[in-house]
Chain A
C-alpha cells in the first residue's frame, strides 16, 4: 500500500493471452468463412 503496484503479472499475462487467443480464433473463423463463401458460391456473375 505504498502507492505503487508490485507484481501483478498474472493480470498482464491474462490480458495478453486473451488478446492473442481471441485474435487467433477470430482470424481462423474469418478465414474459414471467407473460404466457404468463395467455394460454395455459384458465381452468377452479377453484382447486386
Chain B
C-alpha cells in the first residue's frame, strides 16, 4: 500500500489539473479576429479587429457605428438633413458642428496649399455631369457652355468659415466626398484607439491602421498589377477615375479638375500615404488632377506624405516629402 500512495496521489493531481483546465479554459475570454461590414459616407465600410474578445468587439463596433452615423449627419451628401446638405440648400449654416467646421477648415487649408487643385465646391461640376448623362448617356462629354456655367460656382475662396457660421456663394454647392471618408476614418480610428484598441484596420473607402497586427505583421492593401501596400500606421487613400464613371462609354468620371471643369486624365491611379486619412484622402484627390511637374512643385508643402502614381501606361512613380517637423514650405 505504502509505496503505491504517492503514485495514486500523483494520478489524482493530474486528473484534477486536467479537470481544472477543462473548466477554466473556456471561461477565459476568447480572443479572436472580428470583421465588421457596414456603410459609411455612402460607401462600403470595413473594420477589422485583431485579437479581441467578443464582448469588447461588440461594444467598440457599436460605438464606431454610432459615431459614423453621427458624422454622416454632419458631412454626408447622402442624407437629406445633413449639415452639409442644409448648407448647400440655404448657403448659410449657423452653429455648425465641430466636425463639419474642422473638415471644411481642412478642406480649405488643402485647397489653399494645393493652389486650388483640391476644391470642395466642385459639386456643381458633378451635378452638371450627372444631369447631362442622365438625359444623354450616349452623347459624349457635356458642351463647353454647360461646363462653364457650372465652373462659375467652383471657387473655394468664396466659402467663408466664420467663428460660428459657414457661408457659401449663392450658386455654390459643396462636397466633402474628396475628404469626408478620410475624415470619418480618422475619427473612427481615434475613437477606437482612445477606447484601448491597438490592432485595428479601418477601411471606410480610405484605409487607416492603428498599429500593426498582433503578430507584428502589417495590414495589406492590395493593388492591381503590383505588390500590395503594407500598412502599420497612418492612412492610405487612393483616387482612381475608373472608380465611378459617367456616361454609357465612360466618357467622364468623378474626379474633376477645378481649373477646366473636366475629368482629369493625367493618371490612372494615385495613392497617398499620410498620418491622417483625411489629409491622404484630400491629397489623393488633389494630386489626381495634377501633372507630375505640379506634384513635384506642391510636394514640399505637404510634410510626411508619400505618393504613388500610376499612369495610363502602368508606369509607376513615387514621391516622398520631407517628414513632419522638417522645414515646411
**Do A and B come together as binding partners?**
no
